Structure 1
Amino acid sequence: MLATPLLFASLVSQAATTSSNNEAEGFQCPDFPEATISLSYGSRYKDDSKSRSELDKEANAAVNKALGPSDKFIQILARLADKAQKKTSQREDIVRCAIGAIHHWAEADSFSEIDSLTANLSYASRVGGIAIAYAQFKALIPQEQEEPTDEVTSVGQLQLLEETDPQDTEEETKKASAEASDDLNESESQAKKNTVQLPEEYREDTKTIEHWLAGLGDSIIHFWETDGPPMASKNNLRAWAALAIIQIGLTVENEDFIEWGLESHRVILDTIEPDGSLPMEMRRGRYALHYQLHAVAPMVTATAMLQEADKRNSQIYMDRLMMAAKFSLRAIEKPELVEEKTDKPQTVKSGLLEQKKYQIAWLEPLLALEENPQLDATINDLRPLRNSKLGGNMTFRFHDSKNDKQDFGENDQ
């Protein structure tokens, strides 16, 4: 792995400056890892492990080392996104800090040299994590809007007059206009309260970031359409690529990206067994259940994100996704359901409450898609649930935006 020699000293000094109304302790922009430009590594698994279920310790360590900087980068961004939602007095400094860091990675053309098959299969999940974090920061920046023209204003007045009962008095008409104006002012006031005002240079930075993300989206799709291995094209790796492409598509308003992500879900879910198991993951021996969960998580999350944008797959695939999710939950409670298929003890512990928080963070978007009071109550004591590659604090985003717990512990993966 190569990394740019650029350091973040200037970025930190610029972004860490706190506003006069900030909290007493202020905000300190953290140190970010250097940008990851090139990735080239082999499989984590032993060469003779056909099911890819026997780890090679040295190879696994090499992969983790190569991906370490980008994984750390995503974790920091996810924590900052969570903090920006809750620390309103520090929000502007946090957004400046994060946008500056992502812009640095964009200008460095990060992930532009992906030089091995295995790297191509796995780096998309890191792109997705960055894209999801960026989308959360972008949502806090007021977007440019065209100023209304006199013609638009007059049309609005005409519409108001046309909709007014001829018998209404002039006073009632003025009252209705005033109420409409109050509603608009309240809406604008709320929008200003939830957003931050950034210098023009940061708006330019967002253009650079989105151009970079769109380029990575094109590269990811090209790989999967031309060089994606047949089995990997139907398993969890394709699901993570789909999550990245869907988020980028939502961010840059590219419907082709969104459709490719949905088509990826269809390709994967077309393989589903009647019980909800995914055969490409059931091949993985003692890791079968682990990878079933690893495939369902990005698909459920992407589907919930699309639902927020009033987009979705056809009902047959929504039903299949729920089948896969429900099988996963049953198998967590009874791993023998998977052991019967693999003839191998599973690495996933038995019992939902025995799972690490980041492994079940996808349950929050699942509950956003389909109500399940029993499941909701079961995981309540585990909240907040976080997974940086899925978007950080999943409880805050999908369950309760007013949740103010802030446990940035080791479970934030």
Structure 2
Amino acid sequence: MFNKARNTLGLLGAMVVMGTGVQPSSAATLAVPFQLARDVMENNGKQECTQSFPAPVVSLNLSSIYDDDDESRSTIDPKNKARYDETISQTRDFLTFVTKNASNYTETDGKRLESAICALKALNNWASANALSDLQSRQSYLSMTRIVAGAALAYVQVVPAAKLTNFNTSRIEKWLETFAERIVPIYTESGDRDSNRQNHRYWGGLALTSVGVAVGRKDFLDFGFESYKLGVCQVTPDGALPLELARKKKSRDYHLHAAGPLVMMASLLQANGYATFSQCNNGLQRLVHFALSSIDDPTKMEALAGEKQVKLPREKNGLIRGDRIAWIDAYLAQYPEERASYGGLYDKALFSSNLGGRVSVLYNMKFRD
């Protein structure tokens, strides 16, 4: 299905197009829309990773966390969730390790070289073990799209350090590429399922898009663009996603969850020549407005979903927990005039391992050390 032509990121870390924030790859066909580490030559000289990271997980068999009798998939079964969390915990810990270290490298503009080395070594260790090669359920694949997306975006951040230290990344790239190829048929060869058209598909699209940028596969970006359009072209005039409204009392949470991969895809794809933000009469912008406005006032969401919304997780200061809106700086980079409306939703760099770490640090220079 996919062509094997490859372009690598090359000397990405050393190539900065001032003023645009876009840094082209060595192939000049793929780009990242955010600022990578800017002072890679002024690092601390530390090339050893003294941290330990989780051992590779090869086999994974995940099942849904929801009550089987709830058609809306909005009622969590405590036993199902406990089993899910235990099964995926080591893989989550791996992604957290990789993305936090990648973010530490980016946040210091390349000074903490050992952080990049830790991320690279963890990725290489899992790639060498062919980690996650034995996924035994559809749910396992659907959940792993977030792992692949986060790992690929973290890898993009530490490529400059790999080039600087001559770190062999061939296994990492092959692992990401192979993983991405395995994701596609989960959506294209499984019939007309809601999960092929709602947030699960958007996360699959982001996984392919992120890996495509990381390893130079434009055909992966094409799949991402189709996934993106499938999402934003469903957005109603109100800004709602009908399949996320079907999640009833968790509709608000799922609109925020769906917005993340769509925003990140829009940013990554636009940097590579795809018309994303304007797609379907600015569908993404309508979705973001609707989702963010529902955080403190869910009235409209509740009217459309037909149920009172469950509470969102909050920080100690009352703000929404950062991982729910970790993508917001990627959005505001496109619509800076909206910072006055939404900047008050957070007061620190926002982190989501599924989105590659501290997304704010990539798009908002005020969060750099």
Please tell me the TM-score bracket, short chain as reference.
0.7 to 0.9
Indicate if the aligned counterparts of 1:243 and 1:299 stay in contact, CA closer than 8 A: yes
Measured against aligned partners, the alpha-carbon deviations of 1:320-371 in whole angstroms (never above 9, x if no partner) come to 1111111112222321111112232212449996310111111111101212
C-alpha distance in 2, partners of 1:288/1:217?
28
Indicate if the aligned counterparts of 1:301 and 1:362 stay in contact, CA closer than 8 A: yes
More divergent stretch after superposition (383-392 vs 345-354): 345-354
Which structure shows the higher helix fraction? Answer: 1
Is residue 80 of structure 1 aligned with residue 101 of structure 2?
Answer: yes
Measured against aligned partners, the alpha-carbon deviations of 1:208-267 in whole angstroms (never above 9, x if no partner) come to 111111111110012111126520111111111111110101111111100100100111
Equivalent position of 2:269 in the other structure: 306
Equivalent position of 1:357 in the other structure: 322
C-alpha distance in 2, partners of 1:277/1:109?
39
Measured against aligned partners, the alpha-carbon deviations of 1:39-72 in whole angstroms (never above 9, x if no partner) come to 1122111111111111111111111111111111
Among 324, 334, 346, the residue aligned to 2:309: 346
Is residue 103 of structure 1 aligned with residue 68 of structure 2?
Answer: no
Equivalent position of 1:30 in the other structure: 51
Is residue 39 of structure 1 aligned with residue 60 of structure 2?
Answer: yes
Tell me the TM-score normalized by structure 2.
0.81
User: What amino acid is aligned across from residue 373 of structure 1 in structure 2?
Assistant: R
Equivalent position of 1:336 in the other structure: 299
Measured against aligned partners, the alpha-carbon deviations of 1:125-176 in whole angstroms (never above 9, x if no partner) come to 111111111111113333xxxxxxxxxxxxxxxxxxxxxxxxxxxxxxxxxx
Pick 1 or 2: higher relative contact order, CA cutoff 8 A, min separation 6.
2
More divergent stretch after superposition (348-357 vs 99-108): 348-357
User: What amino acid is aligned across from residue 91 of structure 1 in structure 2?
Assistant: R
More divergent stretch after superposition (77-86 vs 310-319): 310-319
More divergent stretch after superposition (48-57 vs 327-336): 327-336
5+ residue gaps, structure 2? 1-42
More divergent stretch after superposition (244-253 vs 345-354): 345-354
CA separation of 1:396/1:325 partners in 2, compared to 1, >3 Å: closer, same or farther?
same
C-alpha distance in 1, partners of 2:114/2:289?
42
C-alpha distance in 2, partners of 1:320/1:22?
45
Tell me the TM-score normalized by structure 1.
0.73
C-alpha distance in 1, partners of 2:136/2:265?
27
Indicate if the aligned counterparts of 2:233 and 2:279 stay in contact, CA closer than 8 A: no
CA separation of 1:398/1:90 partners in 2, compared to 1, >3 Å: closer, same or farther?
closer
1:378-389 mapped onto 2 (5 Å cutoff):
378-379=344-345, 382-389=347-354
5+ residue gaps, structure 1? 1-20, 143-196, 405-413
User: What amino acid is aligned across from residue 124 of structure 1 in structure 2?
Assistant: T
C-alpha distance in 1, partners of 2:60/2:160?
30
1:64-143 mapped onto 2 (5 Å cutoff):
64-87=85-108, 91-142=112-163
Instruction: Report deviation, 1:93.
Output: 2.8
Give identity over the alignment, percent: 27
Equivalent position of 2:77 in the other structure: 56
User: What amino acid is aligned across from residue 361 of structure 2 in structure 1?
Assistant: F
C-alpha distance in 1, partners of 2:149/2:200?
12
Note the aligned Cα RMSD (angstroms): 2.5
Instruction: Report deviation, 1:315.
Output: 2.7
Equivalent position of 2:27 in the other structure: none
Among 373, 377, 400, the residue aligned to 2:339: 373
Is residue 222 of structure 1 aligned with residue 185 of structure 2?
Answer: yes
C-alpha distance in 1, partners of 2:233/2:111?
46
Equivalent position of 1:395 in the other structure: 360
Instruction: Report deviation, 1:273.
Output: 1.6
- Which protein shows a greater Rg? 1
CA separation of 1:351/1:138 partners in 2, compared to 1, >3 Å: closer, same or farther?
closer
CA separation of 1:92/1:63 partners in 2, compared to 1, >3 Å: closer, same or farther?
same
